[in-house]
Amino acid sequence: MSINVRVRINSRHCDELIEASSKNGLLQVDARSIKSWASPVHGTVYGTLLNDRKAVEAMAQQMNEVPYKHPPKAPVLYIKPINTLAGHRSDVPLPQDAKELQTRASVGLVIGKQAAKVNQNEAYDYIEGFTLVNDISIPHNSVFRPAVKENARDGFCPIGPWVVSKEDVTDPENLKINVYVNGAHKQQFLTDNLVRPIPQLLQDVTEFMTLFKGDVLMVGCGHNPPRVTAEDIIRIESAELGVLENKIGRVPS
Amino acid sequence: MKTARAAYEGNIFDATLEGDQLKLSNGKTVSGQEVVWLPPVQPGTCFALGLNYMDHASELEFQAPEEPLVFLKGPNTFIGHCGRTKRPQDVTYMHYECELAVVIGKQAKNVPQSEAFDYIAGYTIANDYAFRDYLENYYRPNLRVKNRDHSTPLGPWLVDAADIKDPMNLTLRTFINGKKVQEGSTRDMIFGVPHLIEYLSGFMTLHPGDLILTGTPKGTVDTKAGDEVITEIEGIGQLKNTIV
């Protein structure tokens, strides 16, 4: 069985639908005529931190200590600005001041229409579909300050390869995301392990902040994001969303 | 030159200021009362600074940061001159922040301070409201405090960089219902505009239309529904907002 997925490819500045089907348990396309992939989304990209139960458990004690003092009440959000957006197979530049990077694999909710004060019972009405996100950052232990310098480097947010319509995803709240570095399995992230499941997250975010068509809200990332360094190849796989592969660039000269 | 964006008779126009009149891009001249003012630029990436004035930093009982405290804002938060900002019912402390807003004019990467002014298109005024009840210690200041819908008035217009001789020596003032509640000068920034452009462009590429809101001096007090808040910067103008 095949489905259509939405892409931006071959430097064309328009959305296109191409056919994809499941092979070897992963959604794939015939990529022979595809020379380059851009991010399939172009709005504002928001990340959610501490939305994975294991990640929260691991930090539980710290959350009651200085500087955090209390566990978070509202979703912990951040922005990946436009300079960070990149596509499938892009090289992620390794900055001069970083030896290692961390890869926070996530699922992005692609917003389908303006979403403000959404009720969680209607959350999926506002979602066009889903995509994979490789949210790269320079490792930072403290999440007290917004960490823009660590999160917002050029090319630090590969997205894609495509957007899968919500109708073609069996259960967005039960997705398995596997992360491989140079072929070795490093992490599994499950969307059934979220502190705020997708509908509640969308409700709590849009309570104070409108999301627009084309914006992306990442649902969170797993505990202990893998560390990567120069020339490592990161593969983020999910049966129904496909494979997002990116390479870390060379050590800058 | 001062440029603005405004909605008029069902359309959106770029406009230039001629005295207190707006000359729309279709040639028609109208008064400021006849239009709906929009933010003078459609912001790209928006950076904002926390604790960037010595006096405000000490007022909040913090040590001055050693590195700029930068956070990002989304497009949902901006509204134009004469707009309305909602004060949520459960909030006990909502304050304005009068800030010099710098608009980037060309792509900038690794720009030294000495060349920073070459990368600026112009200046406008931002009122970067904060809702302190929602402050939490994760990626602080968090988006629920600083990125609420319609909570960052911007405008009224963009003043060309060439028309502001010394952006690092401008008086900022805020008035609530006509009473002055905040006064400071951009010369008291901890990290001045050239430093901020060097810092940001040193780790990422800035693009035309990106905005830097450079922080606020001391004198932030609670505002209530019904208050008219005017943030003013010498040489730029007055930005009006009403709290509802």
B71 touching chain A per CB within 8 A = yes
- Nearest-CB residue to A82 (from B45, B142, B203): B45
* Residues of chain B contacting A147 with CB distance shorter than 8 Å: 139
A170 phi and psi angles, rounded to 5 deg: -60, -55
Q: What pLDDT, on the 0 to 100 scale, is given for residue B139? A: 95
Give A-chain residues touching B74 at CB under 8 angstroms.
44, 46, 79, 209
Tell me which of B132, B135, B200, B204 to substitute to probe the interface with A (most A C-beta atoms closer than 10 Å).
Answer: B204
Q: Cβ contacts of residue A253 below 8 Å, gap of 6+?
A: none
Spatial CB neighbours of B219, under 8 Å, sequence gap ≥ 6: B56, B174, B181, B182, B183, B184
According to DSSP, the residues that pair with B8 across neighbouring strands are: B11
Asked if residues A62 and A141 have their Cβ atoms less than 8 Å apart, the reply is no
> Chain B residue closest to A147 (CA)?
B139
| Structure confidence by residue, pLDDT tens digits, A64-123 | 999 999 999 999 999 999 999 999 999 999 999 999 999 999 999 999 999 999 999 999
pLDDT, residue B64, reads 66
Task: Please give the pLDDT value at position B58.
Answer: 63
Q: β-strands B46-50, B69-73: how paired?
A: antiparallel
The Cα–Cα gap between A239 and A22 comes to 8
Domains and CATH numbers, chain A: 38-248 (3.90.850.10)
Q: How far apart are alpha carbons A173 and A192 in whole angstroms?
A: 5
Note whether B74 contacts A44, CB cutoff 8 Å: yes
Residues of B in contact with A117 (CB under 8 A): none
Which portions of chain B are predicted below pLDDT 70?
Answer: 56-64
Q: Does B74 touch chain A (CB under 8 A)?
A: yes
What pLDDT sits at residue B59? 61
Inspect the interface and report whether the beta carbons of A82 and B44 lie closer than 8 Å: yes
CB pairs under 8 A between A and B: 102
User: How far apart are alpha carbons A246 and A36 in whole angstroms?
Assistant: 12
Could you tell me the end-to-end alpha-carbon distance of chain B, in angstroms, rounded to an integer? Answer: 33
Distances (CA, A) of B228 to A253, B34, B239: 55, 19, 10
Asked whether the bond before B194 is cis by omega within 30 degrees of 0, the reply is no
The answer to whether residue B148 neighbours chain A at the CB level (below 8 Å) is: yes
Query: Residue A125: which of A109, A113, A107 has the closest Cα?
Result: A113
Contact B128, B146 (CB under 8 A): yes
Give the model's pLDDT for residue B61: 60
Closest residue of A to B75, CA-based?
A44
Q: What is the pLDDT of residues A31-45, one digit of tens each?
A: 999 999 999 999 999
Q: Which residues of chain A have pLDDT under 70?
A: none
Average pLDDT of every residue of chain A: 96
Residue A211 touches chain B, beta carbons under 8 Å:
yes
Q: What is the pLDDT of residue A135?
A: 98
Q: Are β-strands B83-85 and B237-243 bridged in parallel, bridged antiparallel, or unpaired? A: parallel
Please give, rounded to a whole number of angstroms, the shortest distance from the CA of A95 to a CA of chain B.
8
ipTM > 0.90 (yes/no)? yes
String of DSSP letters for B158-184 = EEEGGG-S-TTS-EEEEEETTEEEEEE
Say if the Cβ atoms of A146 and B136 lie within 8 Å: no
Considering only alpha carbons, which residue of chain A is nearest residue B73?
Answer: A79
Q: Looking at the complex, does the CB of residue B73 fall below 8 Å from at least one CB of chain A?
A: yes
Chain A residues closer than 8 Å to B67 by CB: 149
| A230, A17 contact by CB (below 8 A) | no
* Confidence (pLDDT) at B54: 83
Tell me how far CA of residue A92 lies from CA of A155, A244, B97, B111, in angstroms: 5, 13, 37, 22
Structure token digits, residue B164: 């502001």
Taking the Cβ of residue A147 and every Cβ of chain B, the question of whether any pair is shorter than 8 Å is answered with yes
* CB-CB neighbors (< 8 A) of A208 in chain B: 134, 143-144, 147-149
Q: Which residues of B touch A146 (CB under 8 A)?
A: 69-72, 139-141
pLDDT at B60: 61
CA dist., res. B167 & res. B158, Å (int)? 13
DSSP letter for each residue of A121-158: GGGGGGEEEEEEEEEEE---S--SS--HHHH--TT-EE
- DSSP, res A159: E
A25 touches chain B (CB under 8 A): no
Domains, chain B: 1-38 (2.30.30.370), 41-243 (3.90.850.10)
**pLDDT on residue A252:** 78
Contacts of A95 in chain B (CB under 8 A): 203
Name chain B contacts of A148, Cβ cutoff 8 Å: 47, 70-72
* Chain A residues lying within 8 Å of B45, measured CB to CB: 81-83
